[in-house]
Homo-oligomer: A and B are copies of this chain.
Amino acid sequence: MSRPPADPPAPLAPPAAEPTVGELSEAELLARVLPLLTRPAAQVLLGPGDDCAVVAAPDGRYVITTDTQVEDQDFRLAWPSGVRTTGYDTGVKCAAQNLADVAAMGAVPSALVVSLTLPPRTPVSWPEDFARGLAAGCEAMGAQRCAVVGGDLGSGRELSVTATVTGDLEGRDPVRRAGAGEGGVLALAGTTGRAAAGMALLEDPRYRAGQDEALDELAAAQLRPCAPVPAGPAAARAGATAMIDLSDGLLRDAGRVAAASGVVVDLDGAAVAALAGPLDPAARLLGADPRDWVLTGGEDHGLLAVFPQGAPLPGAFRAIGSCAPAPPGHDGTRPRVLLDGRAPHLALGHPVGEGWDHFEP
């Protein structure tokens, strides 16, 4: 698994010679984008081009999830720091957020359908780059078997992308959020907090791309997150009893596992500090507390799993905490997630337990 390569940034407004999607018919646009996305795959019994695709479900079940990204909500074409993105970045991010949800069930991603809503002024290179990023993201994140089997192209005032991905459980039970038991080991594959540090950099004019490799890597974690997709099925094979995709922040997502499982999760302060270390350069530049990013930052799409006490962890995972039974009468008003046995406090005064909420102000 390697991070998807960066694509050279493209100018926001198309050069005079570059066509916009408004100048092409839907069929012409499809003819440009589809070949960048599709390839033969054993599980695809009928690919794009008909009313539906047909996909094999070898064990008689499939997992399914959907995720939308909207311009200026989930990605930006231009950041306050001056960084500009292309469709390639959004394609990689689309792959990460969808594939991670499938991996978090212990399943192997099998098929994707994707719908693009494009303002007519969008340069044709944007959907083309998106397709390249989606394909490269699947490849780089270890979802080589996953194939794009269909989609929809439409016009709108706002750029937006919705993907639905399905996966194969390979005969195993799905790994749910409810399943963390007393004494279970909480373990992380991939990263958390890096995408949030990267967003803080990208949002800040003090960050200038190309001057500090450590900072650029954090920005890349926001722009092109890399989900540890094969770690999901590996966790399932290793006996993980609960798992979640870390999309909304460690406190919030660990809290979801704890609430669903009826336990309290205790994060290990040293592990949190180790995750915060690589964020120090960004924290110094911006005057932030890197631990806040680790505890509340979403969008890295790491996998948080619970393993039985004493079980060997698969290679991609490191232990970052443990599970204890919830005290009798735990009513949800006390924190479900502790840090070294105590309620965590955030430097920036967020309410404890906060992470990303699409509708919060």
Contact = CB atoms under 8 A, between A and B. Distances in A.
A243 B51 CA distance: 9
Interface stretch (A59-67, A269-277, A283-291): A59-67
B167 A52 contact: yes
Given A26-B359, A54-B174, A45 B61 contact: yes
Nearest to A232: B51
A359 B155 contact: yes
B155 A113 contact: no
Interface in A58-96: 58, 60-68, 70-74
A105 B54 contact: yes
B50 A176 contact: yes
Given A156-B158, A359-B153, A61 B55 contact: yes
A164 B113 contact: yes
A87 to B, nearest CB: 16
Contacts of A157: 72, 157-158
A55 B62 contact: yes
Contacts of A149: 64
A162 B62 CA distance: 20
Nearest to A115: B68
A281 interface: no
A122 to B, nearest CB: 10
A50 to B, nearest CB: 5
Contacts of A114: 66
A109 to B, nearest CB: 10
Interface stretch (A3-11, A17-25, A313-321): A17-25
Contacts of A359: 21-22, 24-26, 29, 120, 153, 155
A331 interface: no
Central interface residue in A24, A51, A101, by most chain B CB within 10 Å: A51
Contacts of A105: 50-52, 54
A331 to B, nearest CB: 17
Contact of A68 (B45, B53, B60, B152): B152
Contact of A25 (B26, B73, B74, B360): B360
Which 8 A-B residue pairs are closest in the complex by CB-CB distance? A57-B57, A164-B164, A52-B63, A162-B162, A51-B104, A70-B156, A66-B113, A52-B65
25 contacts: A25-B357, A27-B357, A29-B359, A46-B176, A51-B100, A52-B65, A52-B101, A52-B102, A52-B107, A52-B174, A54-B64, A54-B174, A57-B62, A64-B164, A64-B166, A66-B152, A66-B164, A68-B154, A68-B162, A70-B156, A115-B162, A152-B162, A153-B358, A157-B157, A158-B158
Given A25-B360, A51-B243, A158-B158, 19 more contacts: A45-B61, A50-B177, A52-B101, A52-B107, A55-B61, A55-B62, A56-B61, A57-B60, A58-B60, A64-B149, A66-B113, A66-B151, A66-B162, A68-B117, A70-B155, A73-B154, A117-B160, A153-B359, A160-B160
